[in-house]
Chains A and B, each alone.
Chain A
Amino acid sequence: MVRFESVGLRYGMGPEILRDISFEILPRSFQFLTGPSGAGKTTLMRLILLSLKPTRGIITLFNQDAKTLGKDAITALRRRIGVVFQDFRLLDHLTTYENVALPLRVQGRAESSFRAEVVELLHWVGLGERMHVLPPVLSGGEKQRAAIARALIARPDLLLADEPTGNVDPPLARRLMRLFTELHKSGTAVVVATHDLTLMDRFDSARRLVIADGRLQTYE
């Protein structure tokens, strides 16, 4: 699904912040991406999303070499990936419903064709009563769930979640993680970036990708 081979990244003439990164994300797999703050977890996720170009190495996404992809092909691949950003990145002038429906709307689908689906998902993540509300009015946990719902609405093959439990209390964090594991069971490959060791210990069977000093180690 995603394969990195000796990928390196540097900004400008600076030092390499990611060095010789090699790993593979298999379909229907579940893994944590971890490491200290500033180690490059978000950067690695941006590389997977092809919003950054590596300075060296090969990135293969859904069996396609990223170097050969044009903008339309990148867009098509991104539609197969759901992303939960650390800072949620909800559009403040759109309601919760509109934010969650966004990935379907940009595909050009008619609103009537996905309305029920979006409303159902909003209820599933516990935001059924908050669908008319604008994001500035939502609490941190509600924003997090709205961001997760947006990432899930298009039924992605791969879910990237950047610190999804970073802004919520432990009970809600556990609830969100259960949501990810349910999603994993339904066939989606999941990558959760976190530096919360306690959380990872609760899901001991999950693979761990650990970034430190610009290098990545995999623990099966």
Chain B
Amino acid sequence: MRASRNDAASGGALKRNMPLVPADSIAGRALVTVIGIMTFLAAFMVGVGIMIHGASREWTDSIAKEITIQVRPSPNRDIEVETEKAAAIARATAGVAGVRIFGKAESEHLLEPWLGTGLDLGELPVPRLVVVELSNAANLNAADLKDNLRARVPTAFLDDHRLWMERLAAMAQSLVVLIVVFLALVLVSMGLAVAFATRGAMAGNKGIVDILHFVGATDRFIAVEFQRHFLRLGLRGGAIGVLLAILGFSLFETLSSWWARSPGGDQMEVLFGTFSLGWIGYAITISIGGVVALLTGLVSRIIVFRHLRGFE
């Protein structure tokens, strides 16, 4: 009379260690849906936060790297001489590492996205650009440079985009903070949903809890069983949410790379950076699913213990 013999005699392997809390229920499926949606929102927010943070860093870096002097053509002045003069003024300014004059051909090339190729731009009054690379943005006195240029090269205009770039970067950083706050709210809401679901499950499975107590189960054993149940639901919901988020981001990246081929896309990329999460972004998105599942298990464990403490 041994298990193997009886397994065979009874026509199949024994079902063992099935979950003590019934796995499938309407409430369980609803909770998986809620967790899935919350995970998707959390992952989406984190993804957007990563993109904005990346763009903000690019803007900040570009602020630290360079500024531009634009020399406009004037009927009474030789634009080449004026450009050289502006470059010399910039070179002599503190905080400047190097100066590079955009050649005529390069300047005309910049207009190609708007005017197309194959046009003779020689007769057009195309401005010339001087790119000023900064060694240390903090040392640069932009106001002095602007005044010097105005006094000695009236057709030169310092394109000091630092101010609006700084504002954009500050706005992006604020958005990242806002996203972190929203993420916290989403996680708290999910925790509350899990807490209510656990209370519901405890009430709905009171008979099971009673029997487990009568056959000698400790509160710890019962809590672990419920925790496992909710961890499973959390993993299922988390996986659904992460999968949706990854699909969404992949679609977004595909669309943006397709759109990036257009001139408008180029400009958007300059402004907002690339719409790409990178492998770190995807790894963080996936880890959110794990965090959500762990949070679900942890919240349910706490609620079950509290419930059992008052259980008679």
Contacts and interface: CB of A to CB of B under 8 A. Distances in A.
Interface stretch (B55-63, B84-92, B211-219, B230-238): B211-219
Interface string A161-195: 00000000000000000000000000000000000
Nearest to A71: B219
Interface string B1-21: 111001001111011111010
A14 interface: no
Contact of B215 (A72, A78, A116, A129): A78
B264 interface: no
Nearest to B16: A111
A26 interface: no
A184 to B, nearest CB: 21
B75 interface: no
B22 interface: yes
A98 B212 CA distance: 13
A159 interface: no
Interface string B186-212: 000000000000000000000110111
Most buried by A among B14, B18, B207, B219: B14
A128 interface: yes
Contacts of A53: 312
B221 interface: yes
B212 A106 contact: yes
Most buried by B among A51, A75, A79: A75
Nearest to A156: B216
A122 B10 CA distance: 12
A111 B17 contact: yes
B18 A83 contact: no
A123 interface: yes
Contacts of A140: none
A83 B214 contact: yes
A83 B217 CA distance: 14
- Interface of B, secondary structure class, is loop
B20 A91 contact: yes
A108 interface: yes
A53 B18 CA distance: 33
A105 interface: yes
A120 B3 CA distance: 8
Given A75-B218, A120-B1, A131-B6, A94 B18 contact: yes
Contacts of B221: 106, 108
Given A108-B221, A115-B14, A78 B6 contact: no
A123 B6 contact: yes
Most buried by A among B9, B22, B215, B312: B215
A123 B1 contact: yes
Given A105-B17, A108-B221, A119-B3, A51 B213 contact: yes
B212 A115 contact: no
A108 B220 CA distance: 11
A89 interface: yes
A104 to B, nearest CB: 9
A123 B7 CA distance: 12
A78 B213 contact: yes
Interface string A36-54: 0000000000000101110
A143 to B, nearest CB: 14
Interface string A84-100: 01000101011101100
Nearest to A131: B10
Contacts of B11: 132
A91 B208 contact: yes
Contacts of B217: 75, 106
Interface string A107-121: 110010001100110
Given A83-B214, A128-B10, A98 B1 contact: no
Contacts of B3: 115-116, 119
Interface of A: 49, 51-53, 71-72, 75-76, 78-79, 83, 85, 89, 91, 93-95, 97-98, 101-103, 105-108, 111, 115-116, 119-120, 122-123, 128-129, 131-132, 150, 154
Given A85-B214, A106-B217, A123-B1, 16 more contacts: A51-B213, A75-B216, A79-B216, A89-B211, A91-B20, A93-B22, A102-B215, A106-B221, A116-B1, A116-B3, A122-B6, A128-B10, A131-B14, A132-B14, A150-B215, A154-B216
18 contacts: A49-B214, A51-B312, A53-B312, A71-B218, A71-B219, A79-B216, A83-B214, A85-B214, A89-B207, A98-B16, A98-B18, A106-B216, A106-B221, A115-B14, A120-B1, A128-B10, A129-B10, A131-B10
